[in-house]
Amino acid sequence: MKDKLNRFMQGRYGVDNFARFTLGVALFVIVVGSFMRQNAAGGVLDTVGFILIIYTYFRILSRNISARYAENQKYLGYTQKIRSWFTREKNMMEQRKTHHIYT
């Protein structure tokens, strides 16, 4: 079974940071939509969530690697400041065990 999946995924783009992000947003939107079942907004949120899931799987199974790579690079460019801030904070928390950091 694992071999069949590996052969199926050959030549396809696969999972990247942008796919993880869109899948996370889709699941969050669906969960929020499930709490708003009585309103019309709940149905709209569910629909948006399912569209995001379909788009994510389209990206994962796509054979147009250059286009998916460009999308991921654009996403990484937009989120660079946020990711570097979290990395810096994580490093500071790890260093606090052995170093004194004065700001």
The counts of H helices and E strands in the chain are 5, 0
The pLDDT confidence band at residue 64, using thresholds 50, 70 and 90, is: very high
pTM of the prediction? 0.78
Angle 25-5-22 (CA atoms, 0-180°, nearest 5)?
Answer: 10
- Which tens digits make up the pLDDT trace of 66-84? 999 999 999 999 999 999 9
- Which tens digits make up the pLDDT trace of 26-60? 999 999 998 887 788 888 999 999 999 999 999 99
What are the extents of the domains in the chain? 2-70
Per DSSP, the three-state class of 98 is coil
Angle 44-20-4 (CA atoms, 0-180°, nearest 5)?
Answer: 110
Q: What is the DSSP letter of 63?
A: S
Name the more confident of 78 and 96: 78
